[in-house]
Structure formats: structure tokens, C-alpha cells
Chain A
Amino acid sequence: MKHLVRALRGVAFLGVVFSGAASLMAASPSLAETTLTIATVNNADMIRMQGLTDDFTAKNPDISVKWVTLEENVLRQRVTTDIATKGGQFDVLTIGTYEVPIWAKQNWLVPLDNLGPDYDVSDLLPKIRDAVSVGGKLYAAPFYGESSMMMYRTDLFQKAGLTMPEQPTWDFVIDAAKKLTDKSSEVYGICLRGKAGWGENMAFLTAMANSYGARWFDEKWVPQFNSPEWKKTLTTYVDLMKQAGPPGASSNGFNENLALFNAGKCAMWIDATVAASFVTNPKDSRVADKVGFALAPNTGLGKNANWLWAWNLAIPAGSKKVDAAEKFIAWATGKSYTELVAAKEGWANVPPGTRTSLYQNPEYLKAAPFAKLTLASIDSADPNHPTVKPVPYVGVQYAAIPEFQGLGTTVGQDFSAALSGAMTVDAALAAAQSSTEREMKRAGYPK
């Protein structure tokens, strides 16, 4: 009994320590100024914005900014937990085009109606603006936008007597990849994503499938992996990568392929348009002066194998600092920010893919030789009509439903296994079909 009393005293003591410390934390002095906590991803454009924050705080002396920079997947989990539980840890969130329509429908985001008179909403690229709007209302402001396109080595093409058309077909790309592969000198015809994940190999493969006339679901939300179009897509991809891809391609994502391309190991690479500035930068790339650009390939069915994505700034519902957050978003995504970056870091470093005026600016077009094709790629992707046949979902390389992250990653694992040879193409498609059917049924589709 004596022991029990002592133990209870100990527990009570610890409780006092914990609660005392907690109240000390809670009682920290409140600042007269508004402090915005901004969650963002570690991409070059975001880091640049972080470095230019002084311009914003100089214009808004009553607002200070705290940055929380995280890796994309960590950030996604972190902000999803916070917004779903109304944790209120962030005042401005960096979210992708996938989250915007889903979160807006959940009423998790504040509509951005008040970005100020100088914020020219009509200047936003129409496709990007559509992607971040629900019911005609803007729920996030695009910070930078991207599509995907073909990047290729002009020197290798010239040597092989090949000419890349501005709009290549898959047949041309497959033939060229085989011709350009020289495994003895470790040069591979084509580098494509193979690492499993809804934002990794499935971003590329879904876009490629769109160009082959495939789709994730029919109008009644029935999965379509048993269709001949998906079989053609996956067979072509696996065969092409086996014949002309680098070894170990099933573990290659954006960064691995970027490293391969920059090291001169890939003759062609289809990936995010944002890569164009990396592969043409002599500080990052050994082949900076030997890179050409073209649209992502198609099969003549009217859809190219390119996606559409934008990183956007949004305000979580329930935020107590909406006014200050809106001011920040208007600053970071407005036209004057573009000019600020250009003045401090040069036009080539301006965040691309959000505003029409940028693509009419001769200085930008001169500094960014890939600008024309970036714009053409963004324009050719249509999130509202992403496929040849009709679909019930929005999104080019994803279906904007909450279940897609899990579905995409599971299917991505099957397709990555097909690429590594652990599964046959037929088995991978059958597995994708059955897991997607099961999950969609469990989630109650059609809704």
C-alpha cells in the first residue's frame, strides 16, 4: 500500500511537470504582428520564394513569415492530417492540383475571392486555372505549373541521322530509342519512370495510356485494366524499356532519370517540363548545350502522353489569418513576383506555367528556350477531358478522387513489377484490375 501511494505520488509529480510545462508553452507572449506559417515543398522555385520573402515583409511590415519546408510526400501527409483534424498549424499550404478539387469539395479550403485589384485572374493559363477552380471559384493560386514533354539529345540524333518531329508519334520514339541505344557505352535510347507510386510511374503511365486510348474507369466507374488499350500501353512500355531503357529502370523516378540524362546516359527522356531548366543548366548538366525539346508522343488518337500539374498556394478553412494569407498569396503568385525574380535571379528562374503574360514576354522567351514547348504541352493537356473515351473523373495523370492515391500506388507496384520482370504484363494488369475493382466497390462507387 505504501508503495502504491508513493507510485501515485510519482505519477502526480510527472503530471504536474507535464502540465506546468504545457501551460508555460501556451503562455508564450503573443506578438502584435501576424505570423504566417507556410508549408511548402523543397523545389527550386519554392526555395527561391523563401529567399525573396524580405520583399513581402518589407511591403507588409505587420506580417512575418515562418517557413516549413518538407519533402513532397511528407508534406502531403502532414498537411492532410492537419487540415482533416482542423489542427490549425498552417496558414498557407502548398498543395497540388490533385488535392485542390477534393479538398474544396470537403470545404477544407477558403475560396480566394479577395486577392486584390492588381491580381489579374484572367491572366492565369486557362488549363491551370480550371485545375484549381471548383464551380468557377478559385480555391488555390498556382505558383508554378508543369506538363510533361520529350527531352532529347540533339547530338545523338544528328549522329544517327534522325530528326525529332515537334509532335512525335510513339512508333517514331520506339524506333529511335532502339537505334540510339548503345549499351556498350552505357547510352540508352529512352529513360522513363519505373519507380512505383501514384505520382511516380503512374503519372507517366496514365498519361501514356491516355495517348493509347485507355482510361482508368468507364462512365460507371468500372476499372478498365482488362481493356486492349491498357494491354497495348503496358506491353509497349515494358518492351521498350527492356530493349532501350537503362538497367534497374523499375527503381527510377524523376531524380534518377534526371541524373542519368544530365550524365549523358539517355538519348530521350519524357518527364516534367520543369526538368527543362535543369537539363539546360551547365551547372547541373553535362549535356546542357545538346538538348532539344518536343511534345510528348501520341498515337494519332488526339491525346498526347503528357500530364498537367501545378503547385498551388491555398488557405485552410478555419484559418484565423485569412487576410494576411491572401496578401501573401497575391504577392507570391502575382505578376510583380515574376518581375522580382527576373530582377534578382534572371528570367530563366521565373516560376513557369501559370500566367499567359509570361509567355508573351520576349525577355522570358529569350532566356528560356523551352518556354514555347512548355506552354504547348500545358495547352494540350485537358484535365476535364483527359482521355479519348469519356470518363467520370477530372485529372490527366490521376483521377481526382480521394481513393486514387492508394489505388495508384497499388497499381504502380504491379506495373513496376512487370517492368522488373517479377510479373508478366497480363498478370500485372489482372492484379491491377482486381485490386481496383475491390477498392472501388469498398469505397461505394458508383456514387
Chain B
Amino acid sequence: MARQPSPARVLTTTVAAWIVGFLIFFPILWMVLTSFKTELEAFSTPPSFLFFHWTTENYAAVQGRSDYVHHAINSIVIAGGSTLIAMLIAIPAAWSMAFAPSPRTRDILLWMLSTKMMPPVGVLVPIYLIYRNFGLLDSRVGLVAVLCLGNLPIVVWMLFTYFKEIPKDILEAARMDGATIGKELVYVLTPMAVPGIASTLLLNFILAWNEAFWTLNLSTSQAAPLTVFIASYSSPEGLFWAKLSAASTLAIAPILVLGWFSQRQLVRGLTFGAVK
């Protein structure tokens, strides 16, 4: 039987965890606080933490200048669409690599990962030209495709590591009972790998939501997601920190809410399988 930790130790660990948690969360908290300051207070030294004149004028200014809802819908469609398609492709791919490996499986996995090592700007012009020719510039479809392809290697890798943890014997037993590959995937493998799939799905959604290079370069207005919305408030010539903070707070709000509600799955998924 494991020894119960002493109350002092529990207290120390709790306090340390809270301090670390607060430090990690502090930049986000600071951004939220700044969004409620005036531009003058946003850069005042020493900075005021809570005792300042609270105002919502920045949110009003941001809403008056940009169409937040339009950008947010684009973000949801692009991040959601790319995640779903990536999962549809990656689950069978990871299944075949985990349960029916060939001598080349390892090499294929490494090759897939190696595509992430190239800086995206290296292929910007070819992709831009392809998109121009196919009329995909500034379209949600184009962004869904590029983000889906960009995140696929990570999704396949994550699912592969989760699937590897599942005993092959269970799948074999299902096969003995006459399950087809489709049934085996849907009724046996997927329910067992739900935490892994859920966390992969969430992480992929967050990655797609935050992706700024392709979304900034391949969209202008119709398909512009929240990354473009934030970029429109950054300025090297003029102090618009409070407005930028308000725009950023609005941009991360949906993903923050999603993360809050799904933290249990996220943590469970991350501590399940080989990605620990």
C-alpha cells in the first residue's frame, strides 16, 4: 500500500502547482486586463494591475471596425473542417500502421514527420500559384485543405502511438467473430481509443485555430479567420495595445471555452498512450 503523503507535502505541492499555473496563465490574464484599459493606461509605468479605470471602449472600437462574427465563423469552419477531414484520413492510416505494419511503416512515419521540418514559407509561392490557378485563394475550402494536409503528419503520429497501446488480441478476437475491417474500426478500435482520438481531435483543432502563416497568406476577406482579425490590430507605428488585447481576447475566447469544457479529455488523452 502506498504511503499517504504528509499534509505539509500536499500543501507545498498544491501551492507550487498554483504558482506554476498562475505563471503560465499570467500572459493571458494580462492581455484580458489590458483589453479593459485605456490606451494611455495600457503602457503606463509602473503598470496598474487591477486598480485602473475599467472600460469596454476597446471592445466597442473593435466591434465597430471589424466583423468579429464573420471571422469567428470562418475560424470554426476552417479549424473544424480541417480537423474532421484529417481525422477521417488519419484513423485508417494509423490503424494500418499500428496493426498491419509493413517493413516500410517506420520509414513512412518518419518521412511524414519530416515534411513538418520544412519551413512553410519554402513552399509559399508554389502553393500560392496552385491556389490561384484553381481559384482557391481566399476560400474556406482552400484553407481547410492546406491546414488539413499540414496537420496530418502530427495527427497520424498521435493516433499511431495511441493505437499501439491497444492489444492486438482484442482486434483479432473481433476478426474471429467475423467483424469486417470497417466494423473492427468503428465498433472495436474507436471506442477503445476514444480518449486518444478526443485529445488528438482537440489538439488538431487548436493547432488549426491558431495557425497563422497559411491563413494570413492565403486569405484576404471572404475566408479570413480570426488570425487575420488579430493581425489587423497590430501596428508598428502607433500604440494600440489595448485594442490589440481586446481583439486577441475575442479571438481566443471560443477556444478557451472549448478547452475549459474538454480539459478532462485533453488531460486524459495526453497521459494515455506513448505521448506522455
Contact = CB atoms under 8 A, between A and B. Distances in A.
Interface of A: 3, 7, 10, 14, 17-18, 21-22, 24-26, 37, 39, 41-44, 47, 50-51, 66-74, 77-78, 81-82, 84-90, 199, 253-255, 258-259, 262-263, 265, 272, 274, 278, 283-286
B132 A22 contact: no
A255 B236 contact: yes
A22 B237 contact: no
Given A68-B228, A78-B217, A262-B239, 10 more contacts: A14-B85, A22-B134, A22-B142, A25-B136, A42-B232, A66-B221, A81-B124, A85-B128, A258-B238, A262-B40
Given A10-B92, A88-B132, A81 B217 contact: yes
Contacts of A87: 128, 132, 137
The 10 A-B pairs of least Cβ separation, nearest first, read A69-B232, A71-B234, A259-B43, A42-B235, A21-B141, A25-B139, A26-B135, A66-B221, A89-B220, A68-B220
Interface of B: 38-40, 43-45, 65, 85, 88-89, 92, 96, 124-125, 128-129, 132, 134-142, 145, 181, 216-217, 220-221, 224, 228, 231-240
A198 to B, nearest CB: 12
Nearest to B221: A66
B235 A71 contact: yes
Nearest to B182: A6
A314 B200 CA distance: 45
Nearest to B44: A263
Contact of B138 (A21, A51, A89, A272): A89
A50 B65 contact: yes
25 contacts: A17-B85, A18-B145, A24-B141, A25-B136, A37-B220, A44-B238, A68-B228, A68-B232, A69-B232, A72-B236, A72-B237, A78-B216, A81-B124, A85-B132, A86-B132, A87-B128, A89-B220, A199-B236, A258-B238, A262-B40, A263-B44, A263-B45, A265-B45, A284-B39, A285-B40
Given A18-B145, A22-B136, A42-B240, A81 B125 contact: yes
Contact of B236 (A14, A25, A253): A253
A74 B229 CA distance: 13
B239 A3 contact: no
A87 B126 CA distance: 12
A22 B141 contact: yes
Contacts of A262: 40, 43, 239
Nearest to B235: A42
A284 B40 contact: yes
Most B Cβ at <10 Å: residue of A21, A43, A285: A21
Contact of B239 (A7, A82, A259): A259
A85 B125 contact: yes
B203 to A, nearest CB: 22
Contacts of A41: 235, 237
Contacts of B234: 42, 71, 74
Contacts of B44: 263
B236 A254 contact: yes
B217 A43 contact: no
Contacts of B217: 77-78, 81
A239 B95 CA distance: 64
Contacts of A67: 221
A198 B224 CA distance: 29
B160 to A, nearest CB: 17
Contact of A274 (B132, B142, B224, B237): B237
Nearest to A46: B235
B135 A22 contact: yes
A255 B216 contact: no
Nearest to B89: A14
A68 B141 contact: no
A283 B39 contact: yes
A50 B221 CA distance: 15
B43 A263 contact: yes
A65 to B, nearest CB: 11
Given A90-B220, A265-B45, A70 B236 contact: no
Contacts of A47: 65
Contact of B238 (A84, A85, A88, A255): A255
A258 B240 CA distance: 12
B141 A18 contact: yes
A72 B235 contact: yes
B135 A25 contact: yes
A69 B134 CA distance: 25
Nearest to A72: B236
A272 B45 CA distance: 23
B231 A22 contact: no
Given A87-B128, A283-B39, A74 B236 contact: no
A81 B231 CA distance: 17
B255 to A, nearest CB: 21
B181 A3 contact: yes
A250 to B, nearest CB: 17
A24 B181 CA distance: 34
Given A26-B135, A42-B233, A70-B216, A255 B239 contact: yes
Contact of B228 (A10, A21, A70, A253): A70
A22 B139 contact: yes
Contacts of B134: 22
Contacts of A274: 237
Contact of A278 (B85, B125, B238): B238
Contacts of B224: 68
Contacts of A18: 141, 145
A265 B44 CA distance: 11
Contact of A74 (B124, B138, B231): B231
Nearest to B93: A7
Nearest to B212: A74
Contact of B231 (A21, A70, A286): A70
Contacts of B233: 42
Nearest to B132: A87
B62 to A, nearest CB: 11
Contacts of A14: 85, 88-89
A14 B84 CA distance: 12
Nearest to B96: A3
A74 B235 contact: no
